[in-house]
Amino acid sequence: MIRLVDVSCRVGAFELRSINLEIEPGEYFAILGPTGAGKTKLLEIIAGLQPPSSGEVWIDDENVTALSPEHRHVGLMYQDYLLFPHLTVRKNILFGLRDKPKPEKRRRVHEVSLLLGIEHLLDRNITGLSGGEQQRIALARALAPQPRVLLLDEPLSALDPQNRRAVRRELTALHTQLGTTTIHVTHDFEEALIVADRLAVMNEGEIVQIGPPEEVVRKPQSAFVANFFGTENLFKGEILRCSHAEYSGADTYNAIFKTGAIELAVIAEREDQAYAAIRPEDIVVSREMNQSSAMNNLSGSIVEMEETGPLVRLTADVGVSLVALLTRQSVMSLKLDIGAQAYFSVKAAAIHIF
Amino acid sequence: MGTQIKRPSLLSVLFSVLGAVIVLFLVAPLLKMMLAGSYDDLTAALGSSEVRSSIALTMICALIATAIGMLLGLPLAYLLARRSFFGKRFIEAVVDVPVVIPHPVVGIALLLIFGRQFFGGRFFSKFGVTIVGDIPGIVLAMLFVSVPLLINAARDGFQRVDPRLESVARTLGHGPLRAFAAVSLPLSWRALLSGAIMMWARAISEFGSIVIITYNPKVASILIYDRFTTYGLTYALPVAVVLVLICLFCFALLRGVNVRAERVNVI
């Protein structure tokens, strides 16, 4: 378990601002954010390599804020692995087992090298090993002393796409097998979505959202998060609440969201300035004014069509620019083309307000 | 390239000629000196107990100075490479000062601290150690003029080791001293060795400050000077040749270490 209480840290122009985070025992937690968000700095604070200016770091119900890294029992793997180039693979793995009795040293080296499939490399030198091999060794080295927490700094970014997928699967499998509480730092949101039980999104030294991946993607709480996850239809506007909930067929709404020239019926618990996000796959496209139960019907002309695999990504001008995803089949049956007029409908409940 | 013969440009020709002049200027005197002394003179010089003990004295004093330099200079070099602290720029400048001041001035300055009537001199005389006019004076003068070479080389060497390697060592249960000894030291030993050789070679060739602080016993450079002024060129020459050979040997050793260090870095 890791708990950060109001951790702040100033180094030069860079600043981490009051980070609060609680990671459950055995959880695979991702920290996601653009370069320079402070992710690596946060890992170094947990590892004890960077003292925070204020706040507390707890590991397994122990306040480790004042503890130096060698006493924290935390495994850290940097993006570029940083194996000790003057030592053999075996000695790299033995590095963290210095104080252990000999039989245990031998047993641990055997166990982790078996686990990571690197027994055949044990007596090799570091120079000349492939990136994938180096990464396994770095993982073995970090895991050998059985750390309470495993910190992975961009573990996949130095690999080519093919290896990346394989190693990603392996990391998940390894975690399932060992159950070590893991923090995985990345700037790649797909990677975070796939590996993590929960994730935190960081920006400019702050945690902007924490939650399970699906929740963070579906309900971003800020424009930054929405943009970071590539939310296509993101509108800034104003909410006007209705006095009471209104019904229209199967759709319910209680507020109107105004952005630019358009108004949308939405469900919202607040007023004033807000963002609305509509997932492209939640938009229903038709050629005639809709008989559907959706409340929001917008009309406009198609300005762009782009084939992305089996789906077609369609951009329309309905007063604002709106992106919808359709199957190729529906594009054909609807006889959609650039310049064509069409209707776009979306349920009030499918519009995420934040 | 193929069949076409490229004509050298005006720049290449001009710069090569100018470069050749300076190279010739550096090589010719040393070469002439080596060839001037007869073999018999050389063996006679090596046979002389005065020459031999002087050379031994020089090398041993230089070795002691280098050892002190490593003990006191390497920690400073490490701090300069790894930490940022108030006054760091100033200390870096201080380290380079011995390079720019005339060496007789170094001798005089040391005299003002370690002379019999001054603080350092009195302090050491309590332990029965005389500095001025004796071997410790030679060592101190050598240390003063040559330790910057070691400190700068070591600092650059430490800087080339990724500090995160030590961070990893720390997370693997090694304290700061252990992490230094297990990671940074072995990874920078070539730079340290080459710095030490440079320092030693520079100490061997020192004259200006030693001539002020300790004329007797005579180190090699003073012996050469002494023979030159009292007996003339013929007597000074063989000793000079021996000293140059020793210096060139150090230099070759240094190049060997550096070349291999570069090869390691490439990998």
Question: Is A22 exposed, middle or buried (CB count within 10 Å of its CB: 0-12, 13-18, 19+)?
Answer: middle
pLDDT in tens, chain A (354 residues): 899 999 999 887 788 999 999 999 999 999 999 888 889 999 999 999 999 999 999 999 999 999 999 999 999 999 999 999 999 999 999 999 998 999 999 999 999 999 999 999 999 999 889 888 999 999 999 999 999 999 999 998 888 877 888 888 889 999 999 999 999 999 988 788 888 999 999 999 999 999 998 888 878 888 888 888 877 888 888 888 776 776 665 667 788 898 888 888 888 877 778 888 888 888 989 888 766 556 788 889 999 998 887 889 899 998 888 999 899 888 888 888 888 889 998 988 888 888
Residues whose CB is less than 8 angstroms from the CB of residue A47 and which lie 6 or more positions away in sequence, other chains included: A69, A72, A74, A76, A151, B167, B170, B171
* C-alpha to C-alpha distances, A66 to A43, A56, A183, A352, B94, nearest whole angstrom: 16, 9, 21, 43, 36
Alpha helices of B115-232 — where are they, by DSSP H? Answer: 119-125, 135-159, 163-171, 176-179, 185-187, 189-204, 208-213, 220-230
Q: How many residues in chain B?
A: 267
Nearest C-alpha of chain B: how many angstroms from A352?
A: 43
Q: Which residues of A touch B172 (CB under 8 A)?
A: 70, 95-96, 141-142, 145
Q: What is the pLDDT of residue B116?
A: 84
Q: Which of A49, A50, A134 to mutate to test the interface with B (most CBs of B within 10 A)?
A: A49
A78–B170 CB contact, under 8 Å: no
Contact B176, B74 (CB under 8 A): no
Determine the Cα–Cα distance for residues B1 and B226; give it in Å rounded to an integer. 58
Q: Which residues of A touch B162 (CB under 8 A)?
A: 82
Compute the CA torsion angle A314, A315, A316, A318 (nearest 10 deg). 120
Secondary structure string (H, E, C) spanning A300-328: EEEEEEEEECCEEEEEEECCCEEEEEEEH
Pairing of strands A149-153, A181-186: parallel
Q: Which of B161, B168, B177 to mutate to test the interface with A (most CBs of A within 10 A)?
A: B168
pLDDT per residue over B23-72, tens digit each? 999 999 988 888 876 778 778 887 888 888 999 999 999 999 999 999 99
A76–B171 CB contact, under 8 Å: yes
Q: What is the pLDDT of residue B154?
A: 96
* C-alpha to C-alpha distances, B197 to A308, B4, B181, B220, B251, nearest whole angstrom: 65, 47, 21, 18, 8
* C-alpha to C-alpha distances, B213 to B61, B99, B137, nearest whole angstrom: 14, 18, 6
Q: For B176, which residue in chain A has the nearest alpha carbon?
A: A70
Determine the Cα–Cα distance for residues B35 and B42; give it in Å rounded to an integer. 11
Tokens of A170: 């392996």
Mean pLDDT of B92-100: 91
One DSSP character per residue, B39-98 reads: HHHHHHHHH-HHHHHHHHHHHHHHHHHHHHHHHHHHHHHHHHHH---TTHHHHHHHHHHH
Residue A238: what are its φ and ψ, rounded to 5°?
-135, 140
Q: Which residues of A touch B189 (CB under 8 A)?
A: none
Determine the Cα–Cα distance for residues A79 and A39; give it in Å rounded to an integer. 12
Q: What is the pLDDT of residue B265?
A: 46
Tokens of A242: 């209705």
* C-alpha to C-alpha distances, A151 to A17, A68, B85, B168, nearest whole angstrom: 20, 16, 30, 11
Q: Which residues of A touch B164 (CB under 8 A)?
A: 78, 82
Amino acid of residue B147: V
Residue A309: what are its φ and ψ, rounded to 5°?
65, -135
Pairing of strands A251-259, A262-266: antiparallel
Contact A302, A340 (CB under 8 A): yes
pLDDT per residue over A15-30, tens digit each? 899 999 999 999 999 9
B167–A47 CB contact, under 8 Å: yes
B182–A48 CB contact, under 8 Å: no
Integer-rounded Cα Rg, in Å, for chain B is 23
Q: Which CB contacts under 8 angstroms, 24+ apart, belong to A300-304?
A: A300/A341, A300/A342, A300/A344, A301/A339, A301/A340, A301/A341, A301/A342, A302/A336, A302/A337, A302/A338, A302/A339, A302/A340, A302/A342, A303/A338, A304/A338
pLDDT per residue over A213-270, tens digit each? 888 887 888 888 888 887 788 888 888 877 677 666 566 778 889 888 888 888 887 7
Here the ipTM equals: 0.78
Q: What is the pLDDT of residue A294?
A: 66
Nearest C-alpha of chain B: how many angstroms from A156?
A: 18
One DSSP character per residue, A276-304 reads: EEE-GGG-EEESSS--SS-SEEEEEEEEE
Nearest C-alpha of chain A: how many angstroms from B260?
A: 15
Q: Which residues of B touch A74 (CB under 8 A)?
A: 171
Q: Which residues of B touch A127 (CB under 8 A)?
A: 267
Q: Give the Cα-Cα-Cα angle B146, B149, B150 (nearest 5 degrees).
A: 95
Nearest C-alpha of chain B: how many angstroms from A125?
A: 12
Q: Which residues of A touch B166 (CB under 8 A)?
A: none
